[in-house]
Structure 1
Amino acid sequence: MIRPIRVTGRRVVAATRLRLVSGGADRGANPVELAVVMPAILLLLFGSIQVAAWFLARSTAMHAAQSGVNAQRVHQAPAGAGVERGNAFLAAAGDWLAKPELSCASTATEVTCTVTGKSISVVPGVHLTVSQTAHGTVERWTTAGNP
């Protein structure tokens, strides 16, 4: 006949303590694994933040260029109106775009504004260049047959 083993509360607590205290062969493995994996995790984290900052800088440059085109393409707009409006937008937009340079060129029928600069850097040593260009037609009076 098989007798059931009677387990008391003290034996369970003692066995559990023994297992937790001794730790076995894997004791201390978690901190080592974390030390190995943490640089990769931090690189991914800061890399994704850097990519987001680059996209925000591109968006800021595009909106500044479009703002410059919209100001310069108005009928009989004064020279430099596009650069002035684009620089005002860049000043109001914040520092997503470092060292921005805005240039506008216009002909009798077309306006082109280009914004170049660098996105802010989160990862040391990474300096991503941003360049965005916007085009538009100049508002002008034409005859009915000629565009």
Structure 2
Amino acid sequence: MMLSRARLTAWWHGRRFQDDRGDTSMQMAIVFPFVLLLTVAVIQASMWYYARQIALTAAREGLSTARSYQAGPAEGATRARDVLNRTAGDSLMSAGVSTTGSGAQRIRIEVSGTAQSMLPGVPGLHITQSASGTVERWTKPGTP
């Protein structure tokens, strides 16, 4: 008894598809943890970047205030803390403001804290941002 080519092809294709059952589920079981890990990593990086931007904004605002005429590092630190209180929320935890490195000619405001972590029990990344600039002052024409 001889099989026709059409029946043999149909039998072969049916057999091949029958053996592939479950392959998609197995592929998803292998690939899905990596996709999930990549998603968490992207979200964590975004949270770290956002916390850095909050710290930098607070430092710049503090510097702008501290550089003003007849202001000083204390006013700048107060302004930076105000900005942090308004904007940080849970994004920048344990935030602190420092004016270390400030002098009569130069002001430096440093804001540091910890970015929130996506994974419970895992500490967030430490962030430090600073801004510095010269103090505004009145001078007589012709004097440096």
RMSD, matched Cα:
2.0
2:98 to 99, 103, 128: 103
Q: Give 1:86 deviation, angstroms.
A: 0.4
Q: Give 1:144 deviation, angstroms.
A: 2.3
1:112 matched to 2:108? The reply is: yes
Distance (Å, rounded) in 2 between the aligned partners of 1:81 and 1:107? 14
Question: What is the match of residue 25 of structure 2?
Answer: 31
The one-letter amino acid paired with 1:135 is: S
Identical amino acids, percent of aligned pairs: 37
Q: How does 1:1-147 map to 2 (within 5 A)?
A: 24-77=18-71, 80-93=74-87, 94-105=89-100, 106-124=102-120, 125=122, 127-147=124-144
TM-score by length of 2: 0.80
Distance (Å, rounded) in 1 between the aligned partners of 2:134 and 2:96? 22
Distance (Å, rounded) in 2 between the aligned partners of 1:95 and 1:136? 29
TM-score by length of 1: 0.79
Q: Secondary structure at the match of 1:116?
A: strand
Distance (Å, rounded) in 2 between the aligned partners of 1:100 and 1:81? 17
Of 75-84 and 47-56, deviating more is: 75-84
Q: Give 1:146 deviation, angstroms.
A: 3.0
Distance (Å, rounded) in 1 between the aligned partners of 2:79 and 2:112? 16
Question: Alignment length, in residue pairs?
Answer: 128
**CA deviation string 1:52-104 (max 9, x = no partner):** 11111111100000111111111111552111110110011132211111112
Q: Secondary structure at the match of 1:101?
A: strand
Aligned CA distance change for structure 1 residues 133 and 49 (closer, same or farther; 3 Å): same
Aligned CA distance change for structure 1 residues 126 and 34 (closer, same or farther; 3 Å): farther
Asked which structure has the greater CA Rg, the reply is 1
Q: Give 1:23 deviation, angstroms.
A: 5.3
Unpaired runs of 5+ residues, structure 2, are 1-9
Distance (Å, rounded) in 2 between the aligned partners of 1:141 and 1:111? 16
